[in-house]
Amino acid sequence: MTRAEKQTYDVIVIGGGVTGAGTARDCALRGLRVLLLERGDYNHGASGRNHGLMHSGARYAVTDPESARECVEENAILRRIASHCIESTDGLFVTLPDDDLSYQSTFVKACRQAGIKTEILTPSLTLLLEPSLNPQVQGAVRVPDASIDPFALTQANLVDARLHGAVTLCYHEVTSLLVNGGRVEGVQTLNKRTGESIDYHAAVTINAAGIWGANLLRSAGIEVQMFPAKGTMLIYAKRVNNMVLNRCRKPSNGDILVPDGSVSVMGTTSDRIAMDTIDDLRVTEAEVRLLVSEGEKLVPALKQNRLLRAFAGVRPLIALDDDPEGRSISRGIVCLDHASRDGMEGLITISGGKLITYRKMAEQATDLACRKLGVEASCTTATTPLPGSEEKKSARDVFSPSHKSNAAKRHGTRANQIPSDSPQDRTLICECEHVSVGEVKYAIEQMNAHDLVDLLRRTRLGMGQCQSKSCACRTANLLAQLTGYPTRALRDLATLLDERWKGIKPIAWGQTLRETQLTAEIYQGLCGLDKAINDRKEEQP
């Protein structure tokens, strides 16, 4: 095969979040030659910056019935095909003294009309199920919400895409669309690790880059009115709730608390921001105070729970074509055929939606791509389990020995591929998240992890209560040994700790601030990170 043939595909997917990964998987399962391109690491954008809530659709039942129905349908599908990424917690929509109890009947009626199972609970039964709740709870409704790991979900889709022939490349930024005579024929890319510029060609290009796709479309003369909405969330050091907790009221700021492994995630806000700020999201003091206040109303025990970090993501809200000023903003799925909309053949945009509807979004985009290519192939992603969620005989068969039990939550049945023969491979390198040396090796060799931040997204290393304080240094040393770049260890370490600091800074007070100051003294004094921080932007070896 010539170099030109290697760079020609049926479909190019732009964006390595969960929607792009799901689209690449769907295309590959239908027999298409597909290339996925991501400018940073996979899940670098919105897919890695959410509260990990697998909606039942109940949150939208009153205000957006169509989205509610989409959510409940995809909720059932993901439980079948992505079971290793999901913790089936169920959820409660609770009425507090500040809320209107009469809203509960409106909420239940809307849920049932959307096909969402509901169970009305008494306050006493509610507190038995969820002792952490505000004891003054007035009522509650149980719904099939759950917690989902977006990092594991995206990686599972990427793995299956590659198993079916897809090529997936991270750190490959699409700098422009290749347009010829009213048709997009491919993309020009920049390899951000080597600096090499490469053109890739395809009959169809699918823009799944979320809010970042707006500027790319504009470079080809296409205007899509996208309005970024920033959502801020807080991570608490201990898990205080067993179930997903929601306020039973119209969606508002600070009304969701999600159990996520060993921590709880409080969210979220929603504020329109300028396009030129989407790569530099800053969590404000006002946002933190609002979320803390609302969280403590829901679960008073949060007052004694230390904050680990704050973070923000950005939602791609799209205005309807007949509303260019954005007064009617869609939060549903938007699939644009730019041939019929803009006279630009060979280009599709898939955007909007939610984490839980990624598979349906991918199906719509792939259906359209197949029609353009003249390919008759049905979607099978609703019935084909993702790698890691294949049917298994028993948990013991899959998750033994015991050191793999936590890895199995991230990789499912594929945890048995993690090296574990030697005592070193079984050694935990991150105690908080129970990440072994073998899992780090697996992430490097099988999951395209190149540095410490990549490892964080593949394994949750450094995402636990210590926030990389204890595991970062030894992992940097291990990574240097495994990759053969010992001179890069300090730079990688500085980059990871700097990323961690971005989330700690907005909540750095009290014990958190004291621990952070101690960490800085240790790493700067003993490891010499001051110089490494200044040097980390240099070209890697």
Domains and CATH numbers, the chain: 3-46+151-225+326-373 (3.50.50.60), 86-147+227-314 (3.30.9.10), 395-535 (no CATH)
Strand partners, 86: 148
| CB-CB contact of 429 with 436 (8 Å) | yes
| Low-confidence winner among 149-153, 400-404, 499-503 (lowest mean pLDDT) | 400-404
CA distance 494 to 171: 19
Q: Which two tokens stand for residue 244?
A: 């997903």
| pLDDT value at 534 more than 70 | no
Best CA proximity match to 33, nearest among 15, 14, 7:
7
pTM of the model: 0.91
CA distance 507 to 1: 54
Residue type, 254: G
Chain centroid to CA 213 = 17
User: Bigger pLDDT: 317 or 506?
Assistant: 506
Q: What percent of the chain has pLDDT over 90?
A: 67
Peptide bond into 300 cis (omega under 30): no
Best CA proximity match to 50, nearest among 406, 425, 311:
311
| pLDDT value at 284 more than 70 | yes
| pLDDT value at 348 more than 60 | yes
> 460: left (phi > 0), else alpha (psi -120 to 50), else beta?
left
Q: What percent of the chain has pLDDT over 70?
A: 91
| CB-CB contact of 177 with 46 (8 Å) | no
Whole-number Cα distances in Å, 245 to 62, 233, 288, 356, 500: 17, 14, 19, 17, 27
Task: Give the model confidence (pLDDT) of 364-411 as tens digits.
Answer: 999 999 999 999 999 999 999 999 998 764 444 444 444 567 888 889
Average pLDDT, the chain: 89
The pLDDT assigned to 314 comes to: 92
